[in-house]
Amino acid sequence: MATVTEPPVESFRLSMLLNDTRYRGYTFQFIALLLLVFAIAWLGQNLIQNLQAAGLDISWTFLGEPAGYDINQTLIPYTSQSTHLQAAWVGVLNTLLVAFMGCVTATVIGVIAGVLRLSNNWLIAKLMSAYVEAFRNVPVLIWILIISTIVTLLPAPRAYRGETPDVEMLFGAIAYTNRGVYIPAPVWGPGSSVVVITFLLSIVAMFAYRRYAKTLLYSTGRLLPTFWPSIGIFFLPAIVMFFIMGQPISLDYPALQGFNFQGGIQLQRPLIALWLALSIYTGAFIAENVRAGIQAVSKGQTEAAGSLGMRPNRIMSLVVLPQALRVIVPPLISQYLNITKNSSLAIAVGYADITATLGGITLNQTGRAIECILLLMLFYLVISLCISAIMNVYNNAVKLKER
């Protein structure tokens, strides 16, 4: 009976790093990494030497000095006597605020416009095409200035005194003026945290129910209602808990006092202009991504679903969009990054984002250009990597999985 013997294992030799294809790729990558490290070290050493020759040094002590300037809209306590570090945090939060609002609004606008652009209604399809072409081909800075100018044409706060009959608060709670929009502010009383936690759990339960309904449909063909149950899960638990806890959350309505409104939350003109301009501008690009994703799905999928008696909205939500997401999500990540980076144009309308505070006023007052620019680069790098990481997780969840 013949026996099979394994070939002897060849011992490792240094020459195999170049001659053996199993190791050659690692060798070249290691060499490239060393060259990159040496290049960065040389640039850093060159920077330090040039700074020393000019009598300068890198120091971060300026972050603890009083800023000495005011910021019109803040999410955290801040005065002119606060430190430059506090001013930088205000700019960071303002940037994150407008980026988050812009991403959400642009996604809603883009999805609606992308779907409607493929509508069988000729007028709706052409209107959406005109919107996409108009906003995509005009720089976003122009739209920021246009919307900012439109906001300045709104009535002044004194018009709400009743002297102008056509000017009144929307729903008796929202005032739109040339200084911004005033909306009611929540007042959190004892027990309000329980209501908020219940509301957050309701959102999780709603998505869990919809996921269960979709899984049941795909596995057994049984169709559960999703719209009204989702509405009920979303609202009812929080409403019931709101009354059980004795209505701990109330609203502080804006009221005209003197020459301006007091109370409530003020969305100032720069924030509104920047938010709407970034949303509408980026929404046009997202609309094209959505249109391309839908058209990438074979028409036979729609026809097959229609032959089973499914309604058009069901076909779009259950058949077309889940398959189109694998095409939509990757470019959508880039659009979210563009919103975050384009928010640096806020200085054009006076919105105090991180570029305006740390990269503008703080830099000019302290003269610490290198430190401020390094911090700016670090912030945008970190936030961009975080957005990419989160969206890539979602992208992996919706991509097609082979058996």
Cα separations (Å) of 190 from 187, 196, 241, 245, 360? 10, 12, 13, 9, 41
| Same domain, residue pair 310 and 391 | yes
| Same domain, residue pair 205 and 149 | no
Domain assignment of residue 33, yes or no: yes
pLDDT score for 395: 80
Ordered DSSP codes for 241-303: HHHHTT--EEEE--EEETTEEESSEEEEHHHHHHHHHHHHHHHHHHHHHHHHHHHHS-HHHHH
Question: Using CA atoms, how far apart are residues 117 and 284, in angstroms rounded to an integer?
Answer: 11
Burial 229-264 (b: 16+ CB within 10 A, else e): ebeebeeebbeebbeebeebeeeebbebeeeebeeb
Domain assignment of residue 292, yes or no: yes
Cβ–Cβ under 8 Å, residues 294 and 356: no
Domain assignment of residue 350, yes or no: yes
Burial 182-218 (b: 16+ CB within 10 A, else e): bbbeeeeeebbeebbebbeebeeebeebbeebeeeee
| Same domain, residue pair 282 and 244 | no
Question: Can you give the pLDDT of all 403 residues of the chain as single tens digits?
Answer: 555 566 555 676 767 767 777 777 788 888 899 999 999 999 888 878 887 787 777 788 888 888 888 888 888 888 888 888 999 999 999 999 999 999 999 999 999 999 888 888 889 999 999 999 989 888 999 999 998 888 888 888 887 776 666 777 777 788 888 888 888 888 888 888 888 999 999 999 998 998 888 888 778 877 788 888 888 888 898 899 888 888 888 888 888 887 788 888 888 888 999 999 999 999 999 999 999 888 888 888 888 888 877 787 778 777 888 888 888 888 888 999 999 999 888 888 888 889 888 888 888 888 888 888 889 999 999 999 999 888 888 888 777 665 5
pTM value is 0.81
Domain assignment of residue 277, yes or no: yes
Q: Both tokens of residue 108?
A: 């809603």
Cα separations (Å) of 76 from 69, 94, 343? 15, 10, 20
| Same domain, residue pair 281 and 166 | yes
Cβ–Cβ under 8 Å, residues 132 and 113: yes
Question: Using CA atoms, how far apart are residues 214 and 230, in angstroms rounded to an integer?
Answer: 13
| Same domain, residue pair 225 and 288 | no
Report which of 269, 275, 267 is spatially closest to residue 106, judged by C-alpha positions: 275
| Same domain, residue pair 196 and 96 | no
- Domain limit, last residue, from 53, 69, 98: 53
| Same domain, residue pair 231 and 279 | no
- Domain count of the fold of the chain: 3
Cβ–Cβ under 8 Å, residues 288 and 132: yes
Q: Half-sphere exposure (CA, 13 Å, Cβ side) for 306?
A: 8
Q: Which amino acid, one-letter code, is at 390? A: I
| Same domain, residue pair 271 and 144 | yes
Question: Using CA atoms, how far apart are residues 191 and 242, in angstroms rounded to an integer?
Answer: 9
**Main-chain phi, psi angles of 168, to 5 degrees:** -150, 160
Question: Using CA atoms, how far apart are residues 358 and 119, in angstroms rounded to an integer?
Answer: 46
| Same domain, residue pair 321 and 380 | yes
pLDDT score for 368: 84
| Same domain, residue pair 237 and 118 | no
- Domain limit, last residue, from 252, 281, 300: 252
Domain assignment of residue 286, yes or no: yes
Structural domain harbouring 162: 84-170+266-398
pLDDT score for 382: 92
- Domain limit, last residue, from 252, 286, 309: 252
Within 117-152, where are the H helices? 122-136, 140-152
Question: Using CA atoms, how far apart are residues 361 and 364, in angstroms rounded to an integer?
Answer: 5
| Same domain, residue pair 273 and 244 | no
Domain assignment of residue 29, yes or no: yes
Burial of 159 by CB count in 10 Å (0-12 exposed, 13-18 middle, 19+ buried)? middle
Domain assignment of residue 372, yes or no: yes
| Same domain, residue pair 271 and 348 | yes
Domain assignment of residue 392, yes or no: yes
